[in-house]
Structure 1
Amino acid sequence: MPNSEKILVVEDEATISRILSTVLTANGYQVLNAENGQQALSMASSHCPDLILLDLGLPGMDGIEVIRRLREWSGTPILVVSARDQEEEKVRAFDLGADDYITKPFGTSELLARIRAARRHANQVAAERAMVSSYYEFQDFRIDFERRCVTIAGKEIHLTQNEYKIVERLARQPGRVLTYTTLLHDIWGPYKGEDNQILRVNMANIRRKLEANPAEPHYILTENGVGYRMADSE
């Protein structure tokens, strides 16, 4: 049965990339390929893979830098596949956010087992987060994360997809300021740039829908020149 999960293979050596793609495809995964770090970041943003297989020895931007940049906005599991077996390299990769590290050469069975383990862990973390916070509530304002439903005084508020993403992102960490850059990266990916005009437009629309007086917001507060924070429910 085909697997719905997508794996991004980041490998500059064509032979190794083909072998990995063949093995993964044969085991039902959908495979995406990137040859360098910049392409990997772009594809991770646009295709939202379920797991990334990442070689460290890439041309231009190396794999360590790719991990660092990915972890600025993405929690996608990263399995490093590298010929580098020095302890320092492994420590750097893990410290920056890699989920696992497998050294070349390796067997197909081990690779597939590591992939399954990384995906199980990611699913477990997601499930635990959902159990911990299935909703946000502040006075008469409520967000049901499971149903993706926003209500005020019991009346449902209809938000666009991006408007909901912004509201949910802020509500997942009430009271914490999220910078314009963080929100841009989280909602539109790392290549939206630093121009926060699209974020401001969406926020203006959100406030028109949520706030009794959009000029004096009650639920989503502005930290001037920095970003936004959701009113703390505690």
Structure 2
Amino acid sequence: MDRLQPQRILLVDSNEPQRRRLATPLANHGYVVEEVHEGAHLIALMRSLHQYDAVLLELELCDEDGLALLRKLRDWSDLPVIIVSSLHDEARRVAAFELGADDFVPRPYFERELLLRLKRLLHSRQEQQPKVIKIGPLTLDHRRREVTVTPAGALNLTASEFDLLAVLMQARGEIVSRLRLAERVGREFEGSSPESIAVLIYRLRRKLAQVIDGAENQVIVTVPRFGYRLSIETLHEWEETPNRPGFAASPQACAAGP
């Protein structure tokens, strides 16, 4: 997400007074807080989780087991999750970490400590994201929101196409599910679904094929019933033969649009 914008926190807790006691200091420290009182509401938000920077989740909810909800969330997203819960016996804490929680803060908690844990988690996630990724002739620059193909130049990508390619490049050849791609796609493609990801893949393949000979069906590989992956071996083969037909200069050099 754009770091010029306030960081957005999704707070999931069925206990309203308890939820408000946490939402207020978060807002006072500059976070934009959206409060959710049911697990069903969080499930409904799954496709728009890319709008948030972290989830604070209480395990004791009125309609859903918190650990089951965490499992569903992790099937969809790698968004940072801190469990803030009054249910903090050893078995639940271990289960939460096994299911992918990033941190666990038992109630009652020290407010300043919780805020510091959240700040450090968000900072750590930002640092983990590589600023520039290079695979074969493709170079993706997160800071400039630009993808270049050597020696053709910059690709003219929409924000959603850029985000999709970024996820595939970060996976470095591993399969990425359609659900994960749908969650990570940028705001331009609001309300994206696994089905709509196929449209973006088609558009991205066509743009790559304009500057890389035969790229339309070979660089982004469909893995039936699972998702997509980037063909690292194919990109490296092209890098070794940069003068082959298809490496033509791009007529435009445009960064990803808003």
Same topology, TM > 0.5: yes
**Shorter-chain TM-score: which interval?**
0.7 to 0.9
Deviation at 1:24, TM superposition (A): 2.6
Map of 1:145 onto structure 2: 142
Deviation at 1:135, TM superposition (A): 1.8
- Give yes or no for contact 1:178–1:228 (8 Å, CA) kept in 2: yes
Deviation at 1:122, TM superposition (A): 3.2
Q: With the length of structure 1 as denominator, give the TM-score of the two structures.
A: 0.81
Identify the match of residue 13 of structure 1 among 12, 15, 26. 15
Whole-Å Cα distance in 2 between the matches of residues 13 and 42 of structure 1?
A: 19
Q: How does 1:128-207 map to 2 (within 5 A)?
A: 128-130=128-130, 134-138=132-136, 140-152=137-149, 153-187=151-185, 194=194, 196=195, 198-207=196-205
Counterpart amino acid of 2:227? G
Whole-Å Cα distance in 2 between the matches of residues 59 and 31 of structure 1?
A: 20
3-state secondary structure, aligned to 1:33: strand
3-state secondary structure, aligned to 2:171: coil
* 1:56 equivalenced with 2:59 (yes/no): yes
Deviation at 1:71, TM superposition (A): 1.8
Counterpart amino acid of 1:84? L
Map of 1:93 onto structure 2: 96
Segments of 5+ residues of structure 2 without an aligned counterpart are 237-258
Deviation at 1:16, TM superposition (A): 1.4
3-state secondary structure, aligned to 1:56: coil
Map of 1:31 onto structure 2: 33
Counterpart amino acid of 2:115? I
3-state secondary structure, aligned to 2:21: helix
Whole-Å Cα distance in 2 between the matches of residues 30 and 143 of structure 1?
A: 29
3-state secondary structure, aligned to 2:148: strand
Whole-Å Cα distance in 1 between the matches of residues 140 and 31 of structure 2?
A: 34
- Give yes or no for contact 1:8–1:34 (8 Å, CA) kept in 2: yes
- Give yes or no for contact 2:208–2:216 (8 Å, CA) kept in 1: no
Q: How much is the aligned-residue C-alpha RMSD, in angstroms? A: 2.8
1:199 and 1:50, CA in 2 relative to 1: closer, same or farther beyond 3 A?
closer
Deviation at 1:215, TM superposition (A): 8.1
Whole-Å Cα distance in 2 between the matches of residues 112 and 76 of structure 1?
A: 22
Deviation at 1:192, TM superposition (A): 5.2
Whole-Å Cα distance in 2 between the matches of residues 23 and 180 of structure 1?
A: 36
Deviation at 1:80, TM superposition (A): 1.5
Determine which structure has greater relative contact order: mean sequence separation of CA pairs < 8 Å that are 6+ residues apart, divided by chain length: 2
3-state secondary structure, aligned to 2:199: helix
Whole-Å Cα distance in 2 between the matches of residues 62 and 216 of structure 1?
A: 44
Whole-Å Cα distance in 2 between the matches of residues 12 and 56 of structure 1?
A: 9
3-state secondary structure, aligned to 2:129: helix
Map of 2:208 onto structure 1: 210
Instruction: Provide Cα deviations, 1:110-158, integer angstroms capped at 9, x if missing partner.
Output: 2332232233133224314326xx22232x3332333221222232111
Counterpart amino acid of 1:171? M
- Give yes or no for contact 2:76–2:180 (8 Å, CA) kept in 1: yes
Deviation at 1:89, TM superposition (A): 0.7
Segments of 5+ residues of structure 1 without an aligned counterpart are none
Whole-Å Cα distance in 2 between the matches of residues 83 and 141 of structure 1?
A: 48
Whole-Å Cα distance in 1 between the matches of residues 55 and 83 of structure 2?
A: 8
- Give yes or no for contact 1:77–1:118 (8 Å, CA) kept in 2: no
Deviation at 1:175, TM superposition (A): 1.9
